[in-house]
Structure 1
Amino acid sequence: MSCTCCQGQMIGLHHIGVRTTDLAKTQAFYTDVLGFEMFKRVSLPQPNGTATEIAFVRLGTLTLELIQPADLTQVEKETGMVQHVAIAVKGIDGIVEKLKAKGVAFRTEEPVNNEPLNAKLIFFTGAAGETLELFEDL
């Protein structure tokens, strides 16, 4: 039970942040290859006169914050604890074929049936080196 009056309420996932050293390349991967929509672009000025560049992209209810830090060395230093981002799909086999045609290399040749999860899934790597998963509930 949660109180919504004075203590606030956690209501769900807002977005997942993905760091990158090349925002344009990463944004193009998500929009042109995976079909996400870019809906917000922000430049956050830093005290040293540089700026952290951010683009928000979404697909259905999944929102990603693509972050290019002003100091690009921070990308590898602060990898965080996100192991992968799973994208819910319907018709995984057709999507895999479309993405292969666009040059996406998957970690396995075909989606794998995962009986314990009652799902079909496949992993690949995004433009910023992030691990992505296509996940279809069976």
Structure 2
Amino acid sequence: MGLKKVHHIAIICSDYEKSKAFYTEVLGLEIIREVYRKERESYKLDLALNGEYILELFSFPSPPKRPSRPEARGVRHLAFEVEDVAREKSRLEILAVEVEDIRTDEFTGKRFTFFADPDDLPIELYEG
């Protein structure tokens, strides 16, 4: 196939402004481009992590809810590598984000934790 890397991840949100604030102000992703597509009544926000394009955030009128719990089919979660899971957990909690207890991966010995975005999409922090 010749795959080289994951190019980007696309997320559809229910409240564009709330999700935009979460991904930029809480997670610290950088805005590359923001456009409003009038014909689709939809915003498209391109976001970068450390200067690399990684995520598209979309809004659409009345998108249906997708279950994420209990373990539903489809993409399970979005994971970000961090240097120190405990430090990032504390930082998120200061910002009033509910974060699960830190666990240790039984196979790698690395620490990780989960929290959710405004639409309850599970997000993992995994210690690199």
TM score, norm. by length of structure 1: 0.78
Task: For 1:92 and 1:77, locate their aligned partners in 2 and report how far apart those are by CA, in whole Å.
Answer: 28
Secondary structure of 2:118's counterpart equals: coil
Overall identity of the aligned pairs, in %: 24
1:97 offset after TM fit, Å? 0.7
Matching residue within 21, 40, 44 for 1:54 = 44
1:104 partnered with 2:97: yes
1:25 offset after TM fit, Å? 0.7
1:134 partnered with 2:89: no
Instruction: Give matches, 1:1-138, under 5 Å.
Output: 9-46=2-39, 50-60=40-50, 61=52, 63-69=54-60, 71-72=61-62, 74-76=63-65, 81-108=74-101, 111-137=102-128
Counterpart code for 2:119: A
CA contact (8 A) 2:92 2:99 kept: no
Structure with higher Rg: it is 1
More off after superposition, 50-59 vs 17-26: 50-59
Task: For 1:133 and 1:58, locate their aligned partners in 2 and report how far apart those are by CA, in whole Å.
Answer: 17
1:78 offset after TM fit, Å? 9.7
Q: Extract unaligned runs of 5+ from structure 1.
A: 3-8
Q: 1:18 to 1:76 in 2, by over 3 A?
A: same
Counterpart code for 2:116: T
Aligned length: 123
CA offsets, 1:18-76, max 9 Å, x none? 11111111010111111111111122343xxx42211122223461111111x32x342
Q: Extract unaligned runs of 5+ from structure 2.
A: none
